[in-house]
Structure 1
């Protein structure tokens, strides 16, 4: 019974108790700091991901536009080439087209 009320023992027990929770508090503060860093990094990565997706979308639209332009130019070149043929050759090409269908 004497040990429980001994001021030195009580002081040591109290100091140990406080130190235990002080360490836990430091760990919690450290973890909260890490969580804030991770949250910040996550936001940055989300912004970068959105930017990259937008770039891919823009490039895809540009490729589609260029492909359409290329197809139109090829069709125009074929039409010009066909129109520059003599009549006899035009008729022959038209016959081949009809047979192919």
Structure 2
């Protein structure tokens, strides 16, 4: 009889542990959602117009540890702005490419 009671007690403890783990996951999800909302509220909305001059940030350059290289390139002239936020840039040599605004 004692073995059965011990097994039931252990099973109850495992169920409590599972409930505790699920509550922790829910709290982490809530925290992540609140932090995302906090961050999104502080993002500045920038409206780009065609024929504006801009600099382009090269995020790939962060991989190289060179203090002398600039992460900004340009200037580029905006040739077209799409409603989805994509911007078509024109280089000084006349080449066109699209970037996320």
Interval containing the TM-score (normalised by the shorter chain) = 0.3 to 0.5
Give the TM-score normalised by structure 2: 0.45
Which has more helix, going by share of residues?
1
More strand by share: 2
The TM-score normalised by the length of structure 1 is 0.45
Higher relative contact order (CA 8 A, sep 6+): 2
- Greater Rg over alpha carbons, structure: 1
